[in-house]
Structure 1
Amino acid sequence: MNKALFFICFCLSFSWSGASAQQNPVFPGWYADPEGIVYDNTYWIFPTYSAPYEQQVLFDAFSSKDLVNWKKHPRIIDTAEVKWAQKAMWAPSIIEKGGKYYFFFAANDVHEGEIGGIGVSVADRPEGPYKDLLGKPLIDDIVHGAQPIDQFVFKDKDGQYYMYYGGWKHCNVVKLSDDFKSLVPFEDGTIYKEITPENYVEGPFMFIRDNKYYFMWSEGGWTGPDYKVAYAIADSPFGPFKRIATILEQDKDIATGAGHHSVIKIPNEDTYYIVYHRRPLDKTEAHERETCIERMTFDDQGFINPVKMTFEGVKHVLH
């Protein structure tokens, strides 16, 4: 009896420790293009619900107090609310302003002459429910060759909000109006500025560290194994952005297709985490992607160190 009890306890202990050791993916299910952000000491991830385009018609959200244990908030917005969206809703970007939460998204995998592009919605809480703000896309034109997808909304040091976006190997930046309902001209009268760096494909992201603008993006094909993340550093939100290096890519022992990321900075610390998606080694379907988190560090000159993918992810509770 004692031996049996010991064996049961041993198995339970082994199972628990094994589960706690593996944190990547951070939550179950196929989720991609994760936008990580912090609101009121709570960590949030807003990903694409990764599925065939005709099924990719909704968004879920996830919240956590420690980056380890995540709560799912299902269907915070879908095509029933966004009447002009028919399929392929993806790549959310979230920003808080004036006590409201604005959820930007792309829909319809739009091509020239089609209805679709980048939309915006609003809610009173991060988990929604979100309501379509415009009843139409904010951007539906293809300008400078950039498909209107993969938007990232960025608040600059002076309080101005910009949006970086673009697929098809082109990236634009636009200036947002105070109510996020329109685009406003730059000082030179233009609406769209192309800022495409070398090898850019899609998935732009921006953050500021030590008064430097870190611009990041994805390279390669999102459906294949060679997806990866690269970056540049500039003195201005408009660049020029000279490619420095790749910092995240496939690992033959872990996963392929590592890309379309965001970055979470721990409040009041110089501590950063990269939130990204990847494809398990035994999976090949385009939509088979899962969301993961790794620590992201810098060298003494401020360059981003290469990020190694792991199964452990965030291994300790953050305070």
Structure 2
Amino acid sequence: MTNNKPTSGNPVIPGWYADPEARIFNNRFWIYPTYSAPYKEQTFFDAFYSDNLVEWEKAERILDIKDISWADKAMWAPSPIERNGKYYYFFAANDIQSNNELGGIGIAVSDQPHGPFKDALGKPLIDKIHHGAQPIDPHVFIDNDNNAYLYYGGWGQCNVVKLNTDMISLGTFDDGSVYKDITPNFFVEGPCMIKRKNKYYFMWSEGGWGGPDYSVAYGISESPLGPFNRVGKILEKDPKVATGAGHHGVIQIPGKDEWYIIYHRRPLSETNANHREVCIDRLYFNKEEEIQPIEMTFEGVSECVLGADK
């Protein structure tokens, strides 16, 4: 039987974008990516929204560097979350290389998912290197028990911190620590967490972001704090489709075991490291509850309307 539903196509949004976070806010799909350009030009964030995963609209400059007093370049890897009627937008800026530089992970806040977002603290939330993890690539996750966690890290090290209920300050774990090292084998950057059937699926990017071998692997745990033993890769280059596939977000259709992965990849025609495009494909689990390797496509995904029976 032929599927006559319209599909999104890949790339799912036009232009050079990367590091997409994917969310459902107000019964609408959202993609929050990095504007993929040289660091000095990465000074704003756009967002994209859709009612059906196929047709996407752009919300321009939802956060601009002029509204972040401490940032001067390299704003990337946004991760927004809704709590208590507000939208908290975590992001990295300045690509700091030492504790003597100003930068790290910041938070902006808005009353709407499309912004405008404004600096919540006037300084970074995390501005130092702990356990060897560069403070980049934040990913925020709220568990079923309402505990909020922020996963982050680069340079092959990954940390998790607990967020207080105000979402703009750090809490402590039961052992009194603030920064917990949860680095799995071969981790490079780009953490992402989902929960399915009371198991925690922790994903991350491996390889160099500017090269063809960028990829995504994952591990499973009974706890949001791990340990996350590496199971294997689920997303990597395909010589027929694209290279440099990684740094992603995941959407679950509410109430269904239906999942989508939103990620970036580099077209086969491109060698410029910043020429990355955002794509969407289905994410499936096998009968052993493992994530199946992602099949990258040019077609993308079929139409999906929230709240509608398919």
For the aligned pair, the TM-score class normalised by the smaller chain equals: over 0.9
Match of 1:234 among 218, 221, 243: 221
Corresponding residue of 2:260:
273
Match of 1:221 among 192, 208, 213: 208
Match of 2:46 among 53, 60, 64: 60
SS of the residue corresponding to residue 54 of structure 1 reads helix
Corresponding residue of 2:64:
78
Q: CA deviation at 1:181?
A: 2.2
Q: How many residue pairs end up in the alignment?
A: 301
Corresponding residue of 2:293:
306
Could you tell me which runs of 5 or more consecutive residues in structure 2 were left unpaired when the two chains were aligned: none
Corresponding residue of 1:37:
23
Q: Distance in 2 between matches of 1:285 and 1:161?
A: 37
Q: Distance in 1 between matches of 2:168 and 2:296?
A: 38
Corresponding residue of 2:280:
293
Over alpha carbons, which structure has the higher Rg?
1
Q: CA deviation at 1:315?
A: 2.8
Partner amino acid, structure 2, of 1:49: Y
Q: CA deviation at 1:21?
A: 5.8
Q: CA deviation at 1:316?
A: 3.0
**Percent of matched pairs sharing the same residue:** 60
Q: CA deviation at 1:184?
A: 1.5
Confirm or deny: 8 A CA contact 1:109 1:116 kept in the other structure. Answer: yes
Q: Distance in 1 between matches of 2:260 and 2:197?
A: 17
Match of 2:157 among 167, 170, 180: 170
Q: CA deviation at 1:295?
A: 0.3
- Indicate the larger mover: 49-58 or 308-317: 308-317
Corresponding residue of 1:3:
none
Corresponding residue of 2:249:
262
Corresponding residue of 1:4:
none
Could you tell me which runs of 5 or more consecutive residues in structure 1 were left unpaired when the two chains were aligned: 1-16
Q: Distance in 2 between matches of 1:298 and 1:181?
A: 34
Q: Distance in 1 between matches of 2:109 and 2:48?
A: 17
Residue 106 (str. 1) matches residue 122 (str. 2): no
Q: CA deviation at 1:242?
A: 0.3
Confirm or deny: 8 A CA contact 1:298 1:305 kept in the other structure. Answer: yes
SS of the residue corresponding to residue 184 of structure 1 reads coil
SS of the residue corresponding to residue 66 of structure 2 reads coil
Q: Distance in 2 between matches of 1:316 and 1:36?
A: 16
Q: CA deviation at 1:285?
A: 1.0
Confirm or deny: 8 A CA contact 1:22 1:311 kept in the other structure. Answer: no
Partner amino acid, structure 1, of 2:149: Y
Confirm or deny: 8 A CA contact 2:8 2:55 kept in the other structure. Answer: no
SS of the residue corresponding to residue 146 of structure 1 reads coil
Query: Relative contact order, CA 8 A, sep 6+: which one is greater?
Result: 2
SS of the residue corresponding to residue 294 of structure 1 reads strand
Confirm or deny: 8 A CA contact 2:8 2:303 kept in the other structure. Answer: no
Instruction: Summarize deviations over 1:271-305 as a string: whole Å, max 9, x none.
Output: 00000000000111111000000000011111001
Instruction: Summarize deviations over 1:91-130 as a string: whole Å, max 9, x none.
Output: 0001000000010000000111100000001001000000
State the superposition RMSD in angstroms: 1.1
SS of the residue corresponding to residue 225 of structure 2 reads coil
Q: Distance in 1 between matches of 2:168 and 2:258?
A: 34
Corresponding residue of 1:158:
145
Confirm or deny: 8 A CA contact 1:46 1:60 kept in the other structure. Answer: yes
Q: Distance in 1 between matches of 2:81 and 2:59?
A: 17
